[in-house]
A and B are shown apart, each in its own frame.
Chain A
Amino acid sequence: MTWSWEVFFEVIPIIFKGMWITLGLTIACYLFAVVFGFFWLLLDRVPLKAFRWMIKWTTEFIRSTPPLVQLFFIFYAWPMVPVVGVSLNPFTAAILGLGIHFSTYLSEVYRSGIEAVDKGQWEAATALNLSTQQKWLKVILPQAIPPTIPMLGNYLIIMFKEVPLASTIGVVAMLHLANDYGAQYYKYVEPLTVVALFFLLLSYPSALLIKKLEMKFNRRFDKKYITES
């Protein structure tokens, strides 16, 4: 088996079709994680120590175990769970599996953003007699969210690169198409290289964009800015 440009150009359109699924799945997983991340944050505010302790270890557990196994759990095992178990199609299972896995990371990002807001801001908001809701919406969140945007962007790219895991439960995206092609013609080099190239073409420019964002936000939100304003 050697490199063939003919095969290379033949597989480009085939893999390209899978790219839309990969991108769509990435966005769906990401949105799920972004929303679910807040959910962990809220659970962490329940005024019950034992409950918070449980939440802490649950997120730690999800974060420290392989997303591939979690995906298998949701796809193969969940339907077998008595009472609550339902069968999920591969696409939904992937959104749930990867979405939940990464939501535990995103909740950490939110937390770091909130913790980075200067204590004096809380005190100032209290001194101005703002309600709890006003404190969050008018003072804390507007300062907590912008600095986390580059990190949130980084997680979008990281998830994009984890999405091919979904091919293992039968989501027909780029990697799956490449492996199918390989199995059919016993030609793996070209299709896998094309998949790698597609990933590189999409993620490298995004990474550069995020680096730029990072610099912009670092300038705006460096310590000097926060303490002086």
Chain B
Amino acid sequence: MDSIIEISLVLLKGIKVTLIVLFFSIIFSTVIALVAGLSRSSSNLLLNKFTGFYVEIFRGTSLIVQLFWFSYALPGLFNIHLGSDIWAGILAISLNYGAYMSEIVRGSIAAVAPGQTEASIALNMSKFQRMRMVILPQAVRMMLPEYGNYLIQILKATSLVSLIGLTDILYYGDIYRSTHLSEAPIVYLLVLIFYFILALPLIAFTRKMEKVSKKGVAHG
């Protein structure tokens, strides 16, 4: 029992970094996903192809490879130093999940029934008004459950930043384990429980959104 408390206190030291990486990765990847998803739904061919290229590159390679690339290769190659490794981690996770999530944005926009666009043309709305008032509100409802699932994926992905030396929950777990080898089972079990506790609100959000998305959408 004592060791559970002791280990938990050690792991708590890492929660700040995990939460910072999680928070900024969610913000950035959401913005990227919306911009990229709208670009891919646009009729501007150049914008469309360029965004498609970005999406395929980041979906086609592995997040952990991207993470190492941003933290080891990028600084050397372009002499870009992202200040600290935390930004390399956030950037890699955001670009990776931004690419994945842009596909739900694009898919949801495409899934809104064509009759909705026709009705808004018949009411003489402009292209921008059609997107803002009719298509996007319905598309967003459709994407929410999957968005929730991706938030959980992002939480899991934050554990990778320990590999580039950031002091997150897993990092402190590893440190503790390296000096208390026989306590490894309890250490990693507690690390898992920490992540699960952080995931619970995201799981609840996803469940709620599944209910919300069933209402107020005309599927195409």
Contacts and interface: CB of A to CB of B under 8 A. Distances in A.
Answer whether A and B touch in the complex at a CB cut-off of 8 Å: yes
Contacts of B189: 73, 77
B184 interface: yes
B68 A69 contact: no
Interface of A: 1-3, 60-61, 63-70, 72-73, 76-81, 85, 160-165, 167-168, 175, 178-179, 182, 188-189, 192-193, 195-196, 199-200, 203-204, 207
B68 A192 contact: yes
A192 B69 contact: yes
A73 B188 contact: yes
B65 A195 contact: yes
A60 B207 CA distance: 12
A165 B60 contact: no
A196 B77 contact: no
Contacts of B69: 192-193, 196
Interface of B is mostly: helix
A173 to B, nearest CB: 11
Contacts of A78: 185
Interface residues of B, number: 44
B31 interface: no
Interface stretch (B109-117, B136-144, B190-198): B190-198
Contact of B60 (A65, A73, A189, A203): A203
B60 A199 contact: yes
Contacts of A165: 64
A199 B65 contact: yes
B57 interface: yes
16 contacts: A64-B152, A64-B199, A64-B203, A66-B155, A66-B170, A68-B170, A69-B192, A175-B62, A178-B68, A188-B72, A192-B69, A192-B72, A195-B65, A196-B65, A200-B61, A203-B60
Contact of A161 (B62, B163, B182, B192): B62
Interface string B173-213: 11001000111110111011001100100110000000000
B184 A76 contact: yes
Given A161-B61, A182-B72, A65 B196 contact: yes
B192 A179 contact: no
Contact of A168 (B62, B77, B157, B163): B163
Given A64-B196, A64-B199, A165-B64, A72 B76 contact: no
Given A80-B181, A199-B61, A64 B73 contact: no
B11 to A, nearest CB: 11
Given A60-B203, A73-B188, A76-B177, A200 B156 contact: no
B192 A65 contact: yes
B68 A175 contact: yes
B156 A161 contact: no
A70 to B, nearest CB: 7
User: Which of B163, B177, B181, B188 gathers most chain A CB within 10 Å?
Assistant: B188
A7 to B, nearest CB: 12
Contacts of A178: 68
Contacts of A69: 159, 170, 173, 188, 191-192, 195
Contact of B77 (A2, A66, A85, A164): A2
Contacts of A204: 56, 60
A64 B195 contact: yes
The 3 closest A-B pairs by CB, nearest first: A1-B76, A66-B159, A188-B72
B61 A80 contact: no
